[in-house]
């Protein structure tokens, strides 16, 4: 029995190693288009590889997997984060859990995972062919099973803006997706997810480096909103709240050319509570300038910026004391704190993490085995499927789970 794996990334290697552990006699070959394998694993998590998550803070999988949560819920019965954690520790990669529930190798180095995969692949006799781009299944007709683990890549039309320089879009000839479509698979057009926003506001950008701990960002007039820390950068906005929003609204933003208004509630509290805090400040610190006394615990420079934004049209200007804050100005300030609006001008040039929303539609695969519904003995695992998560180790977990599912399915039909 011979199995070909197309793509030497996270899912491809996890699959190869598990196949050999389940069926040592199986001949397994990985075909990788690049000269090096596991390149994304290497750069992941800032070089530390956030390889999974404890899921302790996750009450609803759709919050961490905007696409694919139903299928993953089912597949987690086969192989979930606890299995992944145990798997890596059992294979000589001790892990640690951070306070935010993200899981990393204890060595804080992605090479510990790469070394684990490479040494197991060598020990088990997995054949690794690099520099070999597979563009159709015709060359692989003498394999009993073929698994596609080619990862994700945005299509040319959707990858615009500076990010396309960082992640060159695949040309149609380099992607297997058109071929798979011709074989009868439904392809959900790939678009980027998990990116930060370019906001061309020099005054905001001047606050680069400032972080707010608990902010809500949203796209006005849509259901898309996300909460979490927000980071102001020299190109605009980033941080967990923005990355999450870019994931939830990935397709919406792609359709809009990544230009849209962005709403910010800096403290994630409602207008009434902001008003109450303003009233208290007026009563307690009446003689202090509004710009100098900051009742919300925001970074002082951000508070000054927000007061300037909120009261810029005020008759009295910025020299107001708390005692002089009238109803109109207070309303303006409440609005700036809870409904600050700016314009997303595109995807930002740098990325913390980056994944593809879209790929092979889940309706094209058997949900128990991930085998193609149209081409027998053809399977899919990893980001090539229309599954993607937010940051926090969820994308690798999807790769481990789908790869393990395919290994178990190939074993079961032997
Ligand atoms: C900078 C960055 C940081 C990230 N950090 C994290 C993180 O910390 N935690 C997390 O959970 N996720 C992270 N991700 C996402 C994670 O890396 C991916 O979700 C994961 O690698 C997907 O695994 P995969 O095997 O499906 O695809 P990949 O790892 O992308 O592997 C696919 C492989 O297939 C090869 N290939 C493609 N087409 C062909 C072809 N036609 N023929 C032969 N070979 C082909 C590619 O060259 C590649 O090596 C990060 C992503 C990026 C870009």
Neighbours of 119 (CB within 10 A): 13
Q: Which residues does 404 contact at the CB level (< 8 Å), separation at least 6? A: 14, 15, 18, 78, 79, 83
CA 349–ligand 1 middle distance (angstroms): 19
The encoded tokens of residue 379 equal: 């399977």
CB contact at 8 A, 215 and 228: yes
From the CA of 10, give the closest atom in ligand 1: 25
Over residues 238-297, the pLDDT tens digits come to 999 999 999 999 999 999 999 999 999 999 999 999 999 999 999 999 999 999 999 999
CA dist., res. 410 & res. 219, Å (int)? 44
CA 37–ligand 1 middle distance (angstroms): 10
Pinpoint the alpha helices (H) of 129-219: 163-166, 177-182, 202-205
pLDDT over 60 at 355, yes or no: yes
- First vs last C-alpha separation in the chain: 9
Over residues 99-149, the pLDDT tens digits come to 999 999 999 999 999 999 999 999 999 999 999 999 999 989 999 999 999
User: Phi, psi (5° rounding) for residue 97?
Assistant: -105, 125
From the CA of 381, give the closest atom in ligand 1: 26
Over residues 157-186, the pLDDT tens digits come to 333 333 333 333 344 445 899 999 999 999
pLDDT band, residue 314 (cuts 50/70/90): low
**Is the CB of 388 within 6 Å of ligand 1?**
no
* Mutation pick for ligand 1 pocket among 16, 168, 358, 395 (CB with most ligand atoms within 8 Å): 395
* Mutation pick for ligand 1 pocket among 8, 18, 44 (CB with most ligand atoms within 8 Å): 44
CB contact at 8 A, 126 and 28: yes
CA 149–ligand 1 middle distance (angstroms): 9
Question: DSSP letters of 315-334?
Answer: TTTT--BGGG--HHHHHHHH
As a whole-number percent, the residues of the chain with pLDDT over 90 amount to 87
pLDDT over 60 at 152, yes or no: yes
Q: Which residues does 191 contact at the CB level (< 8 Å), separation at least 6? A: 154, 155, 158, 250, 251, 254, 356, 357, 358
pLDDT over 50 at 20, yes or no: yes
**Is the CB of 49 within 6 Å of ligand 1?**
yes
The backbone region for 258, taken as left when phi is positive above 0, alpha when psi lies in -120 to 50, beta otherwise, is left
pLDDT over 70 at 315, yes or no: no
Can you give the pTM of this predicted structure?
A: 0.93
The whole-number pLDDT of residue 325 equals 87
**Is the CB of 13 within 6 Å of ligand 1?**
no
pLDDT band, residue 317 (cuts 50/70/90): low
């Amino acid at each position: 029995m011979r199995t070909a794996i197309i793509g030497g990334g996270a899912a491809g290697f996890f699959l190869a190693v598990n196949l050999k552990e389940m069926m040592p006699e199986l001949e397994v070959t990985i075909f990788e288009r690049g000269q090096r394998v596991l390149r994304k694993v290497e750069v992941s998590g800032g070089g530390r590889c956030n390889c999974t998550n404890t899921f302790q803070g996750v009450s609803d999988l759709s919050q961490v997997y905007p696409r694919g949560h139903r299928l993953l819920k089912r597949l987690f019965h086969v192989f979930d984060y606890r299995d992944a954690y145990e798997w890596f520790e059992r294979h000589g990669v001790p892990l640690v859990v951070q306070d935010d529930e993200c899981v990393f190798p204890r060595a804080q180095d992605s090479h510990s995972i790469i070394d684990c995969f490479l040494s197991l692949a060598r020990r088990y006799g997995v054949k690794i062919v690099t520099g070999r781009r597979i563009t159709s299944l015709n060359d692989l007709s003498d394999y009993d099973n073929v698994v596609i683990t080619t990862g994700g890549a945005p299509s040319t039309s959707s990858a615009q803006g500076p990010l396309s320089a960082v992640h060159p879009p695949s040309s149609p000839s380099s992607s297997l997706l058109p071929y798979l479509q011709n074989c009868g698979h439904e392809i959900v057009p790939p678009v980027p997810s998990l990116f930060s926003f370019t906001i061309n506001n020099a005054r905001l950008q001047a606050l680069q480096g400032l972080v707010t701990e608990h902010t809500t960002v949203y796209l006005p007039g849509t259901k898309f909103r996300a909460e979490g820390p927000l980071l102001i950068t020299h190109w605009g906005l980033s941080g967990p709240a923005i990355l999450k929003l870019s994931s939830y609204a990935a397709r919406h933003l792609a359709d809009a050319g990544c230009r849209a208004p962005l709403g910010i509630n800096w403290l994630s509290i409602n207008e009434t509570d902001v008003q109450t805090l303003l009233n208290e400040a007026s009563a307690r610190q009446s003689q202090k300038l509004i710009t100098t006394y900051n009742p919300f615990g925001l970074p002082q420079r951000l508070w000054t910026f927000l007061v300037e934004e909120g009261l810029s049209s005020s008759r009295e200007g910025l020299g107001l004391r708390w005692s002089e804050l009238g109803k109109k100005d207070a309303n303006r300030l409440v609005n700036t704190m809870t409904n600050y609006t700016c314009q997303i001008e595109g995807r930002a040039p740098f990325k913390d993490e980056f994944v593809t929303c879209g790929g092979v539609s889940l309706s094209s695969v058997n949900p128990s085995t991930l085998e193609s519904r149209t081409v027998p003995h053809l399977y899919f695992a990893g980001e090539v499927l229309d599954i993607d998560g937010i940051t926090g180790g969820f994308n690798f977990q999807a790769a481990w789970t789908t790869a393990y599912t395919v290994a178990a399915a190939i074993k079961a039909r032997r």
